[in-house]
Structure 1
């Protein structure tokens, strides 16, 4: 029965049927920023979307998996980042099995790669992770995409670390318990998992050695350098981290009226979104016009593209 209901919802989403639509938005594991953002978006859609539309957030492995979930019809909208969306549409990188027919819906907050250890640790830069126990996020999460990019940049492979594939919440809990040496999380800031760890331990950012950040940004223009103020997590110093902008995506076949209704519910009420979610304060509506993949027709109607 559940499969029949899901199939009907997907059919309605694609065909623009008048029946009630419960849209599922793919987020990530608990402890990062995607799930709270998805929850806030769902709240706005449920409150303001025109037509008989509702939305629920769904826990997923994260930004790498989400384009596949869109393509397979397991969710109707999802959050990923600019770089992964571009690779998914091109059928490259993690999506070398074939290009995915997805479109952009809207720009969201940026995600940054939190590279964190405990204050007093001998880990100072990325190279110092060699031989260490590192929580790298869940399989299918966006952190692994960054790790696959940064390891070769530093002359390293996954064999040089002992990775633990944990949710962000579990990874940072293991860090404060002393079971691992460092934890990584690709998330907006403040990230729930890092905040929870900071409540019980003094944290320290793992940085880049001289010239490495510049080399990384030169190799991939989708990435940027972001400074996180020291007061965000109570660290001794601000952290300069690598980041990427995020976006909301949908199937190319999604009904334009439904997509426009979702976008309108979000961006006509952006002040309420920002009041409910700290990461939403970093959303720039104009960025939706310059994403790495084309806007869906319904979104283009709203943003005037």
Structure 2
């Protein structure tokens, strides 16, 4: 009897190992640590690992962020990733940062918006974007969405990155440097609350850099993909709310990713959106209806889910 039980247990163990070996592991491209993309990717991975039926698993990957992620989709280094509406359009058209060629990808789902956090310590003499001239500024990692946004915003003020002293740092490192006084301002294109900003706010009084009169409206007129977003004062315990510029985010995938796989991912996340929102504060800003109004077409698998 012992021999029979032992043999049966061994056989069951081999079946478990075989099933695990057959599970397809997907990599989701996020961004640097300290922003909102990595924890969002981690939470999405948790939903897929829990609810996709055992034949799919997912792991979050630290990347350069929203600019780099479509390139990683194109090269096959990740199977799914997070980017924003504006960059998704440029990637599929082979424009802007993607002039080397259009990327064959589509949308999977709408996510939370990202907001360009423009932050200084409360006692700083930097009030507006124009005051950044000659200042040391943490601009996020090279290849990330923050720098791309700054390359849009600064020229509207007659400036460029040549007018500042940029530090290409992860959001965590950038806001740590702000706290230590090693940079004068720190920027982060992230959903809110952003972990790096929260960490800085825990030991410092922070303040938002503001747009000069009319400049935010000018920015929104120039690119319809962007929108005004107010960050309430209680998010980072600032004296005033921040009237910032932002953009909606989305999940993207290569068109070569099977439709059944994409549908399982979307179902794992959106059939359990309440649980995702309990785990991730940024997920509370996700509206499933927005997935039907994205800037690029939905992947076939996502369309099956959202249009049923």
Q: Which TM-score tier does this pair reach, normalised by the shorter chain?
A: over 0.9
1:296 and 2:299 are equivalent in the alignment: yes
Q: Deviations over 1:13-34 (max 9, x none)?
A: xxxxx94200000000100000
Structure 1 length-normalised TM: 0.93
Whole-Å separation in 1 of the counterparts to 2:44 and 2:172: 22
Q: Structure 1 residue runs of 4+, over 4 Å off? A: none
Find the aligned partners of 2:199 and 2:54 in 1 and give their Cα distance: 39
Q: Per the alignment, in what secondary structure is the counterpart of residue 274 of structure 2?
A: helix
1:44 aligns with 2:29: no
**Please, which of 170, 175, 179 is the counterpart of residue 176 of structure 1?**
179
Verify: 1:276 aligned to 2:256, yes or no.
no
- Does residue 150 (structure 1) correspond to residue 136 (structure 2)? The answer is no
Structure 2 SS opposite 1:302: helix
Structure-1 separation of matches of 2:292 and 2:131: 39
Q: CA deviation at 1:120?
A: 1.2
Task: Tell me which residue corresponds to 1:3.
Answer: none
1:190-228 CA distance string (max 9 Å, x none): 000000000011000001000000000000001000111
Provide the residue aligned with 1:136 in structure 2.
139
Aligned counterparts of 1:44 and 1:147: Cα–Cα separation in 2:
33
C-alpha distance in structure 2 between counterparts of 1:233 and 1:226, whole Å: 15
Which structure 2 residue ranges, 5 or more long, are not aligned? 1-20
- What does residue 104 of structure 1 align with? 107
Q: CA RMSD in A?
A: 1.0
Indicate the SS of the match to 1:123.
Answer: coil
Equivalents in 2 of 1:93, 1:151: separation in Å? 17
TM-score, scaled to structure 2: 0.92
Q: Which has the larger radius of gyration?
A: 2
Q: CA deviation at 1:51?
A: 5.2
C-alpha distance in structure 2 between counterparts of 1:145 and 1:164, whole Å: 14
* Secondary structure in 1 matching 2:243: strand
